[in-house]
A and B are shown apart, each in its own frame.
Chain A
Amino acid sequence: MKLTRKFLGATAATALFAGTALADPAMVYDLGGKFDKSFNEAAYGGAERWAEETGGSYRDLEMQSEAQREQALRRLAESGSNPIVMTGFAFMSVLEQIAPDYPDTTFTIIDGVVDAPNVRSVVFTEHEGSFLVGMLAGMASETGTVGFVGGMDIPLIRRFACGYAQGVMAANPDANVIVNYTGSTPAAWNDPVRGGEITSAQISQGADVVFAAAGGTGVGVLQTATDAGILSIGVDSNQNHMHPGHILTSMLKRVDNAVYEAFTEGAEMETGVHVMDLAAGGVGWALDEHNEGLITAEMHEAVDAAEAAIVSGETVVHDYMSDNSCPISVN
């Protein structure tokens, strides 16, 4: 009996040591999944870049259901992972509760703000990036009607929609912006069939450029737009390569940089709110060999000018989340 207890004690001590000695960073992906070709995949790209450059290793987890969030974070914190980076606003309420329980662990949440001494909250100014791609859409559209397909109907996605609409109007004040959301549950991030049908509906209303801010649903949007011969705009990651010559551009949200920085700075990182805005290179638009034929010199110049104006503060893009309303009525 005594011997067993001693053995048990020894194993526990080793396990504890192993835990603290590891202190590898950890990455938790939201429901869309690691390879959503968009938001989470950008985070994965950042983590991989860190692993490649430093030769370090990290743990990662994909959420399968809402109920797993708390369990996953506690499991990682208890096994000694530090820092723990998570993607998605949906982690906010869970993190608020568990961050005080693990004061020695540093957490980073992307797309949400949690007020705790050991949490870094990274937020992006999606409205600024969306404004730029909105300008491109407004200039590329021949019918004067452009579309927006959002994923789940939440304020964050409305921020994309509102910034996009402002950009379209800046390029073409007579333009018409059609806004649709795929649904009001997390299933809306993974329904390409519905995304495709919404796109068809927008095309029948005259849209000839469609911006998809909808995670995995966006795959269906881009596909339908390509099949119908109109232009589309990708989101978060650079999605231009998915249908070369048919995707006007992608609104980049440098989630990869946020993850890379968090991993590099490690557990001693500076906590608090980090705003990744246009000036800091947190958002932007993608130009590569797949879409260079679609962007005219005139469009390029106009967007560059707008970018400079936003960075200097001359142009202020309204943020939907600041007052839950949009100056441009989007239906």
Chain B
Amino acid sequence: MDIATLVQILDSTLRLATPLLFACLAGLVSERAGIFDIGLEGKLLIAAFFSAAYAHYSGSAWVGLGAGVLASVVFALLHGVASITFRGNQLISGVAINFLAAGMTVVVAQSWFRQGGRTPSLTGDARFQRLELPFAEALRDVPLVGQVYSQILSGHSILVYLGLAMVPTVWYVLYRTRFGLRLRAVGENPAAVDTAGVSVVGLRYIAVIIAGVLCGIGGAYLATSLSAGFVKDMSAGRGFIALAAMIFAKWRPWHALGAVLLFGMLEAVANRYPSLDLGFVVLPGQFMAALPYILTVVILAGFVGRAIPPRAGGAPYVKER
């Protein structure tokens, strides 16, 4: 493998990891507050559709991003109402979100655009353009540092950098602010938080809305940056991979970044080498494509240490009388 190939794979890794990163952080915030979120996939999908639709109508990717985030937040609130206010089963509510998004996007797209459940192709400013980082051109020929900076880090859409910036932000909010402390406490022992006079329901709603915003950005990135428009089921299971990455990372933001980069790299390698020749054995394409899922099973089987979820996760909070 030469340097150019490596650079290409890492470049592709960063692009493919970004939607996973947003979804993963969204799930992390939500689950840290004690709300299991299987609906990441559905939120990505609904955001992808609405961002593509409004980017097409307005001709601006930013308007699309706003619409996508809004749609995702609406779905997040639906999840919130079902699982926080009405104390429903969080897993079932999440599954419902996924089904609703898969069906609704295609129906609405068909009724708006009459193109069989897709949006028209986006062009020009309706998509997020690639961004050249400052000095990228000047540093291009510097060995290693220049290559990493100008060929791997530079030249992505602004949402990729936003995603990377979200990692320290989420870490800071969770571990260095009063709000973050309460959020984590609400996922571990809501009764204690309630006793301290802080609203459990309020905190959980805020967490769910943050998850909605993050998923919304991830979905908009899929439709208005990675590709040019929405096609049905375009999230293609990325919400579930993000869920696995979150468990792999044991609900920690920096580890989440590592996990999504690993999953992104597996996909990038599978794209680059349909069958991988390791010298002594040739791995077929099907194996390469299945690798993220095999890894997920290995992770969930506990081969990388126990992954302990937040203690109050999945349980609706009932105030004692």
Beta-carbon contact of A201 and B116 below 8 Å:
no
Beta-carbon contact of A33 and B117 below 8 Å:
yes
What is the chain B residue whose CB lies nearest that of A219? B231
Beta-carbon contact of B228 and A223 below 8 Å:
yes
One digit per residue, 1 when the CB lies within 8 angstroms of any chain A CB and 0 when it does not, for chain B 256-290 equals 00000000000110011011000000000110010
- Residues of chain B from 1 to 50 with CB closer than 8 A to chain A in the complex: 4-5, 8-9, 11-12, 15-16
Instruction: Name the distance in Å between A2's Cβ and chain B's nearest Cβ.
Output: 45
Q: Which residues of B contact A216 (CB under 8 A)?
A: 118, 231
Beta-carbon contact of B285 and A197 below 8 Å:
no
Q: Which residues of A contact B115 (CB under 8 A)?
A: 35
Q: Identify which of A34, A179, A192, A197 contacts B274 (C-beta below 8 A).
A: A179
Beta-carbon contact of B8 and A200 below 8 Å:
yes
Q: Identify which of B4, B285, B289 contacts A204 (C-beta below 8 A).
A: B4
Number of residues on chain B facing chain A (CB within 8 A): 33
Instruction: Decide if A232 is an interface residue (CB 8 Å cutoff).
Output: no
Query: How many Å lie between the Cα of A180 and that of B289 in the bound state?
Result: 12
Q: Which residues of B contact A35 (CB under 8 A)?
A: 115-118
What is the chain A residue whose CB lies nearest that of B8? A204
Instruction: Decide if A317 is an interface residue (CB 8 Å cutoff).
Output: no
Beta-carbon contact of B234 and A191 below 8 Å:
yes
Beta-carbon contact of B272 and A201 below 8 Å:
yes
Beta-carbon contact of A192 and B231 below 8 Å:
yes
Q: Which residues of A contact B222 (CB under 8 A)?
A: 193
Q: Which residues of B contact A183 (CB under 8 A)?
A: 289
Instruction: Decide if A184 is an interface residue (CB 8 Å cutoff).
Output: yes
Instruction: Decide if B198 is an interface residue (CB 8 Å cutoff).
Output: no
Beta-carbon contact of B12 and A181 below 8 Å:
no
Instruction: Name the distance in Å between A196's Cβ and chain B's nearest Cβ.
Output: 6
Using A33-B117, A35-B117, A204-B5 as known contacts, say yes or no to A184 and B289 having CB atoms under 8 A apart. yes
Instruction: Decide if A220 is an interface residue (CB 8 Å cutoff).
Output: yes
Q: Identify which of B15, B116, B231, B286 contacts A197 (C-beta below 8 A).
A: B15
Beta-carbon contact of A201 and B234 below 8 Å:
no
Instruction: Decide if B173 is an interface residue (CB 8 Å cutoff).
Output: no
Beta-carbon contact of A181 and B274 below 8 Å:
yes
Q: Which residues of B contact A205 (CB under 8 A)?
A: 5
Using A184-B285, A187-B236 as known contacts, say yes or no to A197 and B271 having CB atoms under 8 A apart. yes
Instruction: Decide if B255 is an interface residue (CB 8 Å cutoff).
Output: no
Using A36-B116, A201-B271 as known contacts, say yes or no to A193 and B227 having CB atoms under 8 A apart. yes
Q: Which residues of A contact B272 (CB under 8 A)?
A: 201
One digit per residue, 1 when the CB lies within 8 angstroms of any chain A CB and 0 when it does not, for chain B 224-240 equals 00111101111011000
Query: How many Å lie between the Cα of A187 and that of B234 in the bound state?
Result: 9
- Residues of chain A from 199 to 242 with CB closer than 8 A to chain B in the complex: 200-201, 204-205, 216, 219-220, 223, 242
Instruction: Decide if A198 is an interface residue (CB 8 Å cutoff).
Output: yes
Instruction: Decide if B121 is an interface residue (CB 8 Å cutoff).
Output: yes
Query: How many Å lie between the Cα of A219 and that of B16 in the bound state?
Result: 18
Query: How many Å lie between the Cα of A232 and that of B102 in the bound state?
Result: 30
Beta-carbon contact of A196 and B227 below 8 Å:
yes
Instruction: Decide if A48 is an interface residue (CB 8 Å cutoff).
Output: no
Beta-carbon contact of A198 and B271 below 8 Å:
yes
- Residues of chain A from 242 to 261 with CB closer than 8 A to chain B in the complex: 242
Query: How many Å lie between the Cα of A180 and that of B226 in the bound state?
Result: 19
Q: Which residues of A contact B116 (CB under 8 A)?
A: 33-36, 41, 62
One digit per residue, 1 when the CB lies within 8 angstroms of any chain A CB and 0 when it does not, for chain B 151-182 equals 00000000000000000000000000000000
Beta-carbon contact of A153 and B285 below 8 Å:
yes
Using A192-B227, A197-B12, A242-B121 as known contacts, say yes or no to A181 and B285 having CB atoms under 8 A apart. yes
Query: How many Å lie between the Cα of A216 and that of B226 in the bound state?
Result: 15
Q: Identify which of B117, B227, B285 contacts A220 (C-beta below 8 A).
A: B227
Q: Identify which of B9, B121, B226, B233 contacts A196 (C-beta below 8 A).
A: B226
Using A184-B285, A197-B16, A204-B5 as known contacts, say yes or no to A33 and B232 having CB atoms under 8 A apart. yes
- Residues of chain B from 188 to 240 with CB closer than 8 A to chain A in the complex: 222, 226-229, 231-234, 236-237
Q: Which residues of B contact A200 (CB under 8 A)?
A: 8, 11-12
What is the chain B residue whose CB lies nearest that of A180? B274
Beta-carbon contact of B233 and A187 below 8 Å:
yes
Instruction: Name the distance in Å between B17's Cβ and chain A's nearest Cβ.
Output: 12
Instruction: Decide if A141 is an interface residue (CB 8 Å cutoff).
Output: no
Query: How many Å lie between the Cα of A33 and that of B107 in the bound state?
Result: 13
What is the chain A residue whose CB lies nearest that of B233? A190
What is the chain B residue whose CB lies nearest that of A62? B116
Q: Identify which of B232, B236, B268 contacts A193 (C-beta below 8 A).
A: B236
- List residues of B whose CB falls within 8 A of some A CB: 4-5, 8-9, 11-12, 15-16, 115-118, 121, 222, 226-229, 231-234, 236-237, 267-268, 271-272, 274-275, 285-286, 289
Q: Which 7 A-B pairs have the closest CB atoms?
A: A35-B116, A204-B8, A192-B227, A201-B272, A223-B228, A198-B271, A193-B226
29 sampled A-B residue pairs with Cβ under 8 A:
A34-B116, A35-B115, A41-B116, A62-B116, A179-B274, A183-B289, A184-B285, A184-B286, A184-B289, A187-B233, A190-B233, A190-B236, A191-B234, A193-B234, A193-B236, A196-B227, A197-B12, A197-B268, A200-B12, A201-B9, A201-B12, A201-B272, A204-B4, A204-B5, A204-B8, A216-B118, A219-B121, A219-B229, A331-B274
- For the complex with contacts A36-B116, A190-B236, A197-B268, 13 further pairs of A-B residues with Cβ separation under 8 Å are A35-B115, A35-B116, A153-B285, A180-B271, A184-B285, A191-B236, A193-B226, A196-B227, A200-B8, A216-B231, A219-B118, A223-B121, A223-B228
